Amino acid sequence: MHISRPDILFSLFARLTSLPGIGPKMADQMAKRIGVHVIDLLRHLPVGVNDRRARPSVVDVEEGSLATFDVLVLSADIPPARVKRPARFRVETNGGEMDILFFHAQTDYLKNTLPVGERRLVSGRVERFQNRVQMAHPDYILSPANADDMPAFEPLYPLTAGLKAKPLRKALSAGLERLRDMPEWIDKQVMADYHWPDFKTAMTVVHAPRSLSDISAHAPARMRLAFDELFANQLALQLLRQQTDIELAGHALMPTGALSALLRQTLPFTLTPAQEKVLSEIDADQRAPLRMLRLLQGDVGSGKTMVALLAMLSAVEAGGQTALLVPTEVLARQHQATLTGFLAPLGIKPELLLGGQKPRERAAILDGLETGAIRIVIGTHALLNDDVVFSALRLAVVDEQHRFGVRQRLILGQKGDGCDVLVMTATPIPRTLEMTAFGDLSVSRLDEKPAGRQEIATALVNHDRIGDVVERLRAALSGGMRAYWICPLVEETEKLDATAAEDRHRHLCTLLPDAHPVLAHGQMKSVDRDAAMQAFTTGASRLLVATTIIEVGVDVPEAGIIIIEHAERFGLAQLHQLRGRVGRGNIASSCILMYQGPLSETAGARLKIMRNTNDGFEIAEEDLRLRGPGEVLGSRQSGMPEFSLADLSEHAPLLSLARDEAHKAVAAGRSLDDKDIVTLLSLFEKDSAVRFLASG
């Protein structure tokens, strides 16, 4: 199906450079934070408002306030260019005299702008300096004839580095002119209940605030647009499900229970009640003739892998195949090693499918999958390739789902016609966000950890004290402890991350030679990386220096210390994942979060949350509160939609409404053939799901 964009949208999907005042350079700057199309700019809402109506007297004008004055220029002091002193104009105005200052301004410009003996209207922020009122670089200087050029109100936008307010406003007002009347996609009754304006009016109004209450999340125009965005999100999810027949027929599996009974006998532990509960939920889904689409949430170390393995065995018992999709090769290899151990007594060998395999090896695996000889396969994105064909895929498990987008999850599901899908995540997702990313997915939670787990003691340590940290580490390592040292996340490139890790590794090799430190990062050859992981797993090395490559899934129960450098640069979910690498066995474990001060208030508060709790859900909720949903799950790789108009901490009730309305629309048979719906989705939905729909 290909859906073309309605004509009504063309002007809004023109490039930003088509707007006056936006050249290639500015467009470049905007691309990252705002977007590339006119509509992206319109979705960039003001965060404040300048009110220039105040015309105070200089006698009682408030320091720092925004004010407008009628002035008569009395004198000008414009120093020659090489003199560092600012240019200073003395003016007479309501109530007395004041100074207008300019730093590094051109003489000609100044002489023309504020000619001595003439009147001007000036507006800007007022300062008091040694009892004199002054204004540096007024925002407006107008001759009396042009006084109307100054707006009484101006929207204030969150400015990104290098973007100037005036060109941005100019581009925006030109962008707003491109708006056309749109068909109404919101239900009439909802519009009436909330007193919402239509789309075009709402867009226009949000960009023309006249007071702080116009900026509030609860202003009708803002609410309407927030709803539009949430509605688009919910519609996309629900249409996506419909489109891919997810709810349609699945297979009613009939597991014999033979393999899982055998496995349970060999386990050195009994399952936790939470694991049993979740397994029975999964079992019911597998036996039902409908397709399972279930999200399994469980904090790090809660034992998700065991749950997945038992569910996978059910699929095998029922005569099917099963695949485990993981985000990294490291994790794939590790899962294979773990599962091989568990499955050996059952006579089943799990196979591995990775990107860089030799053609012959790969061909053999593809063949095994197609004939059905291979029952269990573990792999990375390589599993999603077109040439991977299963004979009877009955369960796809997606581990650490936050690394995969909606589309990838669905492709795997499609490989086995009607196959069950279990999505596992260790990144606790606040309940408010669950719905936005997963729509009506069924959710199971592993809300307890295996008994005997020790709490992880977390300490915050200033980077200046790295010497102390190394000494304490030395003592622990010489007592036989194993530890992780996580290197700072350098934003720019993976190469830089790698260099930082290499440097730290070299440094620790000289300081702690007895621990035989090894190194693992994303830029290494996978054989070398595997060798390092192997050495650490067996204990040949007791210190693993790594980048966040070990963030997910790595399971070495003997490791009891994790040191994280520049913890302030990580997201809380990520820190929690990293910390979850320790405390997996029965040894008392600790986590040292090193930070580089000074910390901002929020950064400090966030690190304190990490120190105060080990509960992933609590951390996620707190993080959501401190930072807002957009950043909680790390933007791009999260697969989580980012909202620019809706603020879930304010608009949560609208989310349920949006879901209900989306249900109604889908139930009423509205679909992607519907122009209004395509319009809505184009305007508001940025998730890849929609691109998937439209190109599907």
Task: By CB under 6 A, name the binding residues for ligand ADP.
Answer: 269, 271-272, 275, 298, 300-306, 426, 450, 555, 557, 584
Q: Residue 401 touches which of ligand ADP, Mg ion, none (CB < 5 to 8 A by kind)?
A: none
Q: Residue 155 touches which of ligand ADP, Mg ion, none (CB < 5 to 8 A by kind)?
A: none
How many other C-beta atoms are found inside a 10 Å radius of the C-beta of residue 345? 11
Q: Which amino acid is at 638?
A: S
Give the pairing type, strands 559-564 and 482-486: parallel
When the beta carbons of 93 and 305 are compared against ligand ADP, the nearer one is 305
When the beta carbons of 52 and 335 are compared against ligand ADP, the nearer one is 335
Find the residue with minimal CB distance to Mg ion: 553
When the beta carbons of 522 and 580 are compared against Mg ion, the nearer one is 580
Q: Residue 571 touches which of ligand ADP, Mg ion, none (CB < 5 to 8 A by kind)?
A: none
Task: Tell the smallest beta-carbon distance from residue 683 to Mg ion (Å).
Answer: 38
- DSSP character for 413? H
Tokens 């090896």 map to which residue? Answer: 361
693 closest CA partner among 235, 288, 79: 235
Task: Tell the smallest beta-carbon distance from residue 591 to ligand ADP (Å).
Answer: 15
What is the C-alpha separation between 491 and 550, in angstroms, rounded? Answer: 17
When the beta carbons of 101 and 486 are compared against ligand ADP, the nearer one is 486
Task: Tell the smallest beta-carbon distance from residue 596 to ligand ADP (Å).
Answer: 29
Task: Tell the smallest beta-carbon distance from residue 553 to Mg ion (Å).
Answer: 4
Give the pairing type, strands 321-325 and 376-379: parallel
List b or e across 212-245, with b for residues whose CB sees 16 or more CB atoms inside 10 angstroms: eebbeeebbbbbbbbbbbbbbbbbbbbbbbebbe
Contact 372, 392 (CB under 8 A): yes
- DSSP character for 600? P
Q: Residue 271 touches which of Mg ion, ligand ADP, none (CB < 5 to 8 A by kind)?
A: ligand ADP
CA distances from 529 to 476, 503, 592 (A): 25, 16, 24
Q: Which amino acid is at 440?
A: D
When the beta carbons of 40 and 555 are compared against ligand ADP, the nearer one is 555
Q: Residue 504 touches which of Mg ion, ligand ADP, none (CB < 5 to 8 A by kind)?
A: none
Task: Tell the smallest beta-carbon distance from residue 429 to ligand ADP (Å).
Answer: 15
Q: Residue 679 touches which of ligand ADP, Mg ion, none (CB < 5 to 8 A by kind)?
A: none
Question: Which residues partner with 464 through β-bridges?
Answer: none
Task: Tell the smallest beta-carbon distance from residue 447 to ligand ADP (Å).
Answer: 12
487 closest CA partner among 508, 504, 471: 504
Task: Tell the smallest beta-carbon distance from residue 271 to ligand ADP (Å).
Answer: 5
Element (H, E) at 159: none
Q: Residue 222 touches which of Mg ion, ligand ADP, none (CB < 5 to 8 A by kind)?
A: none
Task: Tell the smallest beta-carbon distance from residue 451 to ligand ADP (Å).
Answer: 7
Say how far residue 6 (Cα) sits from the centre of its chain.
30
Q: Residue 557 touches which of ligand ADP, Mg ion, none (CB < 5 to 8 A by kind)?
A: ligand ADP
615 closest CA partner among 269, 274, 302, 272: 302
299 closest CA partner among 635, 606, 649, 584: 584
When the beta carbons of 450 and 630 are compared against ligand ADP, the nearer one is 450
Task: Tell the smallest beta-carbon distance from residue 555 to ligand ADP (Å).
Answer: 5
- DSSP character for 571? -
Q: Residue 109 touches which of ligand ADP, Mg ion, none (CB < 5 to 8 A by kind)?
A: none
SS (H, E, C) 255-275: CCCHHHHHHHHHCCCCCCHHH
When the beta carbons of 272 and 305 are compared against Mg ion, the nearer one is 305
When the beta carbons of 251 and 335 are compared against ligand ADP, the nearer one is 335
Q: Residue 444 touches which of Mg ion, ligand ADP, none (CB < 5 to 8 A by kind)?
A: none
User: What six digits make up the tokens of 578?
Assistant: 């990293």
Tokens 């949000």 map to which residue? Answer: 206
Task: Tell the smallest beta-carbon distance from residue 658 to ligand ADP (Å).
Answer: 32
- CA torsion, ordered 647, 653, 659, 663, to nearest 10 deg: -150
User: What six digits make up the tokens of 424?
Assistant: 């596992």
Q: Residue 555 touches which of Mg ion, ligand ADP, none (CB < 5 to 8 A by kind)?
A: ligand ADP
Please report the sign of the dihedral spanned by the C-alpha atoms of residue 273, residue 279, residue 281, residue 284. negative
- Please give the full DSSP string across 334-368, using - where no structure is assigned: HHHHHHHHHHGGGT---EEE-TT--HHHHHHHHHH
When the beta carbons of 413 and 580 are compared against ligand ADP, the nearer one is 580
Task: Tell the smallest beta-carbon distance from residue 452 to ligand ADP (Å).
Answer: 7
Residue 572: φ, ψ to 5°: -65, -40
Q: Residue 303 touches which of Mg ion, ligand ADP, none (CB < 5 to 8 A by kind)?
A: ligand ADP
Q: Residue 450 touches which of Mg ion, ligand ADP, none (CB < 5 to 8 A by kind)?
A: ligand ADP
Residues near Mg ion (CB under 5 A): 305, 553
Contact 486, 581 (CB under 8 A): no
When the beta carbons of 305 and 638 are compared against Mg ion, the nearer one is 305
Task: Tell the smallest beta-carbon distance from residue 454 to ligand ADP (Å).
Answer: 13
Residue 53: φ, ψ to 5°: -75, -25
Q: Residue 301 touches which of Mg ion, ligand ADP, none (CB < 5 to 8 A by kind)?
A: ligand ADP
Task: Tell the smallest beta-carbon distance from residue 514 to ligand ADP (Å).
Answer: 27
- Please give the full DSSP string across 15-72, using - where no structure is assigned: BGGGSTT--HHHHHHHHHHT-SBHHHHHTS--SEEEE------TTTPPTT-EEEEEEE
When the beta carbons of 300 and 619 are compared against ligand ADP, the nearer one is 300
User: What six digits make up the tokens of 279?
Assistant: 């397994």
Task: Tell the smallest beta-carbon distance from residue 349 to ligand ADP (Å).
Answer: 19
584 closest CA partner among 556, 563, 608, 564: 556
Task: Tell the smallest beta-carbon distance from residue 123 to Mg ion (Å).
Answer: 59
Question: Which residues partner with 73 through β-bridges?
Answer: 91
When the beta carbons of 378 and 678 are compared against Mg ion, the nearer one is 378
When the beta carbons of 134 and 534 are compared against ligand ADP, the nearer one is 534
Q: Which 3 state secondary structure label does DSSP give 210?
A: coil
When the beta carbons of 342 and 485 are compared against ligand ADP, the nearer one is 342
When the beta carbons of 226 and 339 are compared against ligand ADP, the nearer one is 339
Contact 646, 654 (CB under 8 A): yes
